Each structure stands twice: as C-alpha cells, then as structure tokens.
Amino acid sequence: MGVNASTKNDQKFIEIYRNRLKQKLNDCYEYKKTEFEKYYKTLSVVKRNENGIIRKVVRVNRLDRKDPLKSENDLPAFAVKTVYKYSEHSSLNNLIREKEMLKIVDHPYVLRFFDYIEEQYSIHFVTELLEGSNLHQFVTQKGKLDEAQAASLVCKILKGLNYLHTHYIIHRDIKPENIMVSGDLEQLKIIDFGLSRFILPKEKVTCRVGTPLYMAPEVVAKKYGVKCDLWSLGVLTYFLVTGNYPFTCSRKHEEGVNRDIDSIVWEGISCDLKDFIKGLLQPKPSKRFSAEQALSHVWLDFSNFPASIPIKETSNILNYRAKNVFLEETLQLLVKTLPQTKLKTLTEAFFCLEEASKGYVNVSNLKKYLLNFCSSSKKAMNKNLKMNRVYFSEFLTMNFKEAADDQSLEIVFKLYDNDNDGYLSLDDLEWYFNSVGKSLQHTELFEVFCENSLSDKVDFGQFKTIINNLISQ
C-alpha cells in the first residue's frame, strides 16, 4: 500500500510541477526577454499548444532596434517553433535529433532550416516562413482536388519521401496537416520532423507514434520501417481526392481504426488511382510500394517537369571550380534564403538531372552524357572535380550567377553576426564557421577583409559589396 500511495503522490507532484512549469513558460514568452529575443522579434503567434508555440518572427540586431525608420516589413521574416523541454509530450533526445535531421536535409520539397537556439526551458527551431496553408486546411476550405491536382502534389511528396528514405530518415507523421502548400498549389513542403528519426536499412522500430488515422498496421504492431510513411501517403492521397478518409475510426486511438482495405469506397476514383492507392495501402510492408516504386506508377503525371536535359546547368556543374570556404558557405546560405518562386527554373532543371528521384545529381552520369552529346564541353570540363554527388543547395550554388538581392544578403549577414551588434567582425565569422563544423582560419578571413580594403569590422553595405564582387569574379 505504501508503495502505491507514494507512486500516486509522485505522479500528482509531477503533474503539479508540469502545470506550474507550463504557466511559467507562458509567462516568460508573454512578458520577459529571453536569449532568443536578443536576435528575433515576434510578429504574431501562429499556433499554441501544450508542447510549445509556433510564431512568425523577424531577425533584428541592435542597429535595427535603434533605427526609427526601419519597418518590420523590411526585415527578414522566419517561422519559429518553440518547444518546451520538459513537456510531457517532449523528449530532449528527440528535440536534439530533430535539430540534427533538419540541419542535414537538403531538398526542394522539405522545410528549410536556418537557426537553432537552446535555452534553459525551451528550444527554438528557426525555419523558412511558409505562406499559404496546410493541405488539410486547403481541402477543408476549398473542397477536394481533381486527380490531376492531387497527382502533382503526391508526386512532390513522394520525391521528398524518397530523398528522406534514401538518407535513412523516417518521418512517421505524414498527413495533410504536415504538408504546406501555396495558394496556387505550385509550392509544397514537408514539415514537422518532431517524430522523425534516423533508421538503418533493415532496422525495425518498436515505438508506436504518429496520428491514428494515418498509422500503418505495422506501427500499431510496433515493428516497422520506412514503408509506414507510404501507408500514410495512401490515406492522404484518398483524402485529397474525396475529402474523406478511407477507413472508419470508432475511437480516438490507433486500435479504433478499421484498416480493412476491402471496406474502402472507390466511387468517383479512376482505375489508375485506385491501383495506386491500393499499392500504398497494402497491409504487408513487403508488398507495399516503396517511394521509388510509387514514383513510376502510371497515375502520376510528370508533365510539369522538363523532358530535355538542361545543357547549361549540366555544364555549370562539370565546369565548376570551388571558391574559397567563406564564399562557398555564403552562397549556400544565400540560395537557401531565396523565395521558391525565384528558383522555379533551377528546381525544374535539378529534378530533370537528379538520380532516380533520390535528391542528388550523379556527376559521373553527367560527364558521360556531355562527352557523348556535347563534345564542345569536353575541353572546358573540370577534370579536378572530385565530388560524385551534387545535392540541391550545391546545385543552386553552382548555377548562381547573379547579384544577390538585399533581403537575402541581410539574412546571411545576420546569421553570421554572432554578437548581434549590426557589424561583422573576424570573431563573428570564425564563431559561425566553427559552429557549423567548417574550418576557416582567422588568416583566411583576414585576407578577404584586406583584399577589399576593410577594417576589422564591416557593416551590411560593405558585406554586400564583398559578396557581389566575389560572385562576379
């Protein structure tokens, strides 16, 4: 009896502690300055729940705060997910794992990550700001999609999933709420990696997580791999074209979902789409489509991607000569900040060249192509190009040939500005490169400053001149 009473008291104490902590955190974000607020200013709260807050913010430094003419509309805007470390729904290990995954993912259809700030009670994930709505909101407000619209979206999701699975990442919560789209459905991003994890090729995960209506049978059975994401995509695809779910749910947890594929209503769905969804909703993972297999299905329409090989972009890769470390990193940050609308042509070229929808370009195959079909490129080809794979941000960097716009450059400038004083010093830059695990010596930076006749600190105007001069060389 004593043990049980003690256990109950412990549980009651923990619950009281969590409620107090939750209130303390809410008070902290409502009224007090935090380390995060040294760098960012909140414009609006997008969403709030027991796990944390999602906000729209702008990046500010000391000069911005002092300038009365500086409008918030002129400042770079981001989305920030703030997660409470000690929420009953959060795990510190999971949050650190989410950060590590967001840092390495590099795909046009996956959320772009910029910054990470850890404080005593919370962790802040700074990502690109996505205008528009999630797919659930879109279908609820505007109605179900026709099959052509749905095929275009599902194709993009599959490309993102195939990239993640190829790089040993399982999402575990694919659903319309975690797919952001623009109003015209042209732009799409897979978001929310809170339940994601790394997984080895033959590894089986035994932790049951996800959203019940989208949960694969093997997840309920606690023995699953990456194909659970494909089951979820099957449910999502059915929802897009019907506005309903393929299965009924008697209770609000995973055991209450009837996952009988024979009970699905197929009225108004084409034979090709029916075959596609059935391939995703196979109860046995061994019989279910992989992302790569699903991408080759007849139902998907690839007409929105170019059919011919983009020669110019291919040549830019094979003729590429690496720049100094400082400019390489700056360009990679720069292309991450550019709006998707400005990257449309290059994104299409990337998808045309990528290797089997795996999210990278195979350089060896490009060399063979140019040697066979474009003999004029043979002499210009850089024989010292040692990389065999080119990922999306690297591809953009290799093809970035124009002067950078001020807002994108300002984001990069502020990410480099560690002390947030509105100036870049050698210490700021050295700190940044150390934080991302890239070697850049003080002497190398000093050379860049000296070549441009600059002192040991530069303002934004001087930084802009440096970068545009380096790009044009």
User: Catalytic pick from 74, 106, 146, 173?
Assistant: 173
Q: Tell me how far CA of residue 163 lies from CA of 204, 249, 282, 309, 393, in angstroms.
A: 19, 31, 22, 21, 14
Structural contact between residues 370 and 314, judged by C-beta atoms closer than 8 angstroms: yes
Strands 188-190, 197-198: parallel, antiparallel or unpaired by DSSP? Answer: unpaired
3-state secondary structure the chain: CHHHHHHHHHHHHHHHHHHHHHHHHHHHHHHCCCCHHHCEEEEEEEEEECCEEEEEEEECCHHHHHCCCCCHHHCCEEEEEEEECCCCCCCHHHHHHHHHHHHHCCCCCECCEEEEEECCCEEEEEECCCCCEEHHHHHHHHCCCCHHHHHHHHHHHHHHHHHHHHCCEECCCCCHHHEEECCCCCCEEECCCCCCEECCCCCCECCCCCCHHHCCHHHHCCCECCCHHHHHHHHHHHHHHHCCCCCCECCCCHHHECCCHHHCCCCCCCHHHHHHHHHHCCCCHHHCCCHHHHHCCCCCCCCCCCCCCCHHHHHHHHCCCCCCHHHHHHHHHHHHHCCHHHHHHHHHHHHHHECCCCCEEEHHHHHHHHHHHCHHHCCCCCCCCCCCEEEHHHHHHHCCCCCCCHHHHHHHHHHHCCCCCCCEEHHHHHHHHHHCCCCCCHHHHHHHHHHCCCCCEECHHHHHHHHHHHHHC
Tell me, yes or no, if 173 is annotated catalytic: yes
Q: Are 275 and 296 in contact (CB under 8 A)?
A: no
The residues that are catalytic are: 173
